[in-house]
Structure 1
Amino acid sequence: MLFDGEPQPAVLPPCDHYAGSEKLMRKSLALQAQLGPVFDITLDCEDGAQVGHEAEHAELVASLVGGEDDRFGRVGVRIHDFNHRAWRDDVRIILRHAKRAPAFITLPKIRSVFDAAEMVAFIEASRCEFGVARPIPCHLLVETHGALAEVFELAALPGVESLSFGLMDFVSAHNGAIPDSAMRSPGQFDHPLVRRAKLEIAAACHAHGKVPSHNVSTEVRDMNIVANDATRARSEFGYTRMWSIHPDQVKPIVEAFSPRAEEISLAAEILLGAQRAQWGPTRHGDTLHDRASYRYYWSVLRRAHATGQTMPDECAPLFAAPDGGVAA
């Protein structure tokens, strides 16, 4: 009703937690079992694999995807980049041996839309070859000059669900022209070239209905800094998801990206009133609302739903699909 039949952008868990070693992978799966599917896990075949042991590492990752500890189906993988000899093997090993397909496949160090399109096509062909029923979403890492120059084209690619910003590689690609202070806070939010990159990625994602995912916070002791990074990424730069590289970062990131109780309550009141008015214009307090604002408040409830927030019981019909299931 609110979107005139157009598909709605995906709502992903607000935190994407990376793990590269077997110990950290299993620890991450245990944390997800404890907290629920409010964050995703990315098992890393790129930086996590020892040089010369890429196949063995991919087999380890495949054994965990869809295994007994993967309770929610929210475990993805990061494969090697387009110029690495192992990336195709990563895909084939994981899809051949995993008990179910990964929730997504992250493609690092994208340099052009042509590289990304070839990788996405190979994943789709392999998915069909191995009898995986559903397409596997691809997440692209924007961390090179070439990817940033073509970021809108990358966001428009079919099969792409999310774009992530790779801060460290992006800064390094400038060969010292950007100081290392831009790799951490507050510099990462203040340097003009880094700000531009973050804003371009977020704008491209929102233009094409994709999920913008913010880079990591390198702080692993002071979680107030992590929380502040996540809050700035959400409120100032339009990101709806953020990486984590330490288990302690997960909770503050999820909390920062989750709607507050008062936001949920307001959205529920406005949408329930709109529903009673058959989605025509309404008044809430001293403010007039119509379908434009209804779409905003619906996004608030969808994010609350995705992060396991408590919502008024009256909201349940809003999430009921026409076939009696649950709407996205």
Structure 2
Amino acid sequence: MTEAVFHHPRQVLLGAQAGAVALPVCDHYSGVEVRMKKSLALQAEMAAEFGACVFDVTLDCEDGAPVGGEAEHAALVTELALAAAPGMRVAVRVHPVDHPAFDADVAAIVGRAGQRLCHLMVPKVDSLSDVVRAAEALDAAGASQLPLQVLIESPLAVRNAFDIASHPRVQSLSFGLMDFVSAHAGAIPADGMGSAGQFSHPLVVRAKLEIASAAHAFGKVPSHCVVTEFSDANAMSAAARRAADEFGYTRMWSIHPSQIRPILEAFAPGERQIDEAVSIMDAAIRADWAPISFQGVLHDRASYRLYWQVLERAHATGRKLPEVAQAWFL
């Protein structure tokens, strides 16, 4: 019998999408100087603990900069990004494209620290033209390869989510829950912003599903919104699990350090899932990717793709993989 030839699962199963973006499952936001510094320090500490950078740190200009102090805050953010530990993923949220400070944000921050950033987050994107405007600003700042992530925060943006996701510079769509609710002129009650209400109000649920669907349609990453009750660990964990298991999100925002580990836990596959995925992938490789029977169930490339993605998520969340699988992520 001829020995099976090894081809890397990512190339075999994802094909042209093998180079598609794979992001950490947690995106942590902070905009106050002391908290930004603590966030960057925590990121480096947890990277040492997990053996990988398991969450992004996004330094916030939109909510972090005091009115009238936008230029000074942009300068601070630039210095913090440049000083981040090697190998860490650092991003910046700038002001919206129609804000007077947008162009200055991009010129100051991207102009100096663009090579150090993993992406630029643009809030309040309503249409494809807003994405084009942001991409042109990056190009003008000399960062033509820097990806964009965008924040969907209005009913109009939800309507245009598929067009927005189609732009090649867009890497991820995030849902801005609080602005989305407040954009409805009181038609959605305040509890629609809460950890429970955001999963039950029909307009909010529809928006979440539209955003997730648009992102997946174009191979982008859907990023779930905040949980404002940051002192309620149970609410945080429950929301993260629902976002991952029921709404199709593969990434989530954190606004407090206590939320990072619950997000990692909720988005990580369990030990049993990992073991099953490794066994199926190992059998598939031995069969040179032909269909197999595993525990009485037929598997082929469609299911292999699913189980490979389970392992990629395990790796991204710092889960320890069995020895046979570790070589797949070197």
Tell me, yes or no, whether TM beats 0.5.
yes
Q: What SS does the corresponding residue of 2:293 show, helix, strand or coil? A: strand
Q: Which has the higher helix share?
A: 2
Partner of 1:228: 238
1:104-148 Cα distance to aligned partner (Å, 9 max, x none): 1000011211111111222133235xxxxx711111000012211
The 1:265–1:96 alpha-carbon spacing in structure 2 relative to 1, beyond 3 Å, is same
Instruction: Specify the code of the residue in structure 1 equivalent to 2:138.
Output: I
Q: Distance in 1 between matches of 2:239 and 2:312?
A: 23
Matches within 5 A, 1:132-147: 135-147=145-157
Q: Distance in 1 between matches of 2:184 and 2:17?
A: 40
Q: Distance in 1 between matches of 2:184 and 2:236?
A: 25
Instruction: Specify the code of the residue in structure 1 equivalent to 2:190.
Output: D
Partner of 1:157: 167
Instruction: Specify the code of the residue in structure 1 equivalent to 2:183.
Output: A
C-alpha contact (below 8 Å) 2:192/2:201 kept by paired residues: yes
Return the offset for 1:311. 0.5
Q: Distance in 2 between matches of 1:315 and 1:119?
A: 40
Matches within 5 A, 1:277-296: 277-296=287-306
C-alpha contact (below 8 Å) 1:9/1:211 kept by paired residues: no
Instruction: Specify the code of the residue in structure 2 equivalent to 1:190.
Output: S
Instruction: Specify the code of the residue in structure 2 equivalent to 1:19.
Output: S
Partner of 2:253: 243
Partner of 1:167: 177
Residue 70 of structure 2 corresponds to residue 54 of structure 1: yes
Q: Distance in 2 between matches of 1:196 and 1:275?
A: 40
The 1:124–1:262 alpha-carbon spacing in structure 2 relative to 1, beyond 3 Å, is farther
Q: Distance in 2 between matches of 1:99 and 1:164?
A: 21
- Give unpaired runs (5+ residues) of structure 1: 129-133, 320-325
- Give unpaired runs (5+ residues) of structure 2: 1-11, 48-52
Q: Distance in 1 between matches of 2:201 and 2:223?
A: 19
Q: Distance in 1 between matches of 2:17 and 2:130?
A: 29
Instruction: Specify the code of the residue in structure 2 equivalent to 1:28.
Output: S
| Paired positions, count | 314
Q: Distance in 1 between matches of 2:45 and 2:107?
A: 31
Q: Distance in 2 between matches of 1:101 and 1:152?
A: 29
Q: With structure 2 as the length reference, what TM-score do the two structures score? A: 0.92
C-alpha contact (below 8 Å) 1:64/1:70 kept by paired residues: no
C-alpha contact (below 8 Å) 1:274/1:282 kept by paired residues: yes
Q: Distance in 1 between matches of 2:86 and 2:240?
A: 26
Q: Distance in 2 between matches of 1:5 and 1:47?
A: 38
Instruction: Specify the code of the residue in structure 1 equivalent to 2:72.
Output: E
Q: Distance in 2 between matches of 1:219 and 1:71?
A: 32
Q: Distance in 2 between matches of 1:29 and 1:177?
A: 39
Q: Distance in 1 between matches of 2:86 and 2:227?
A: 27
Seq. identity, %: 51
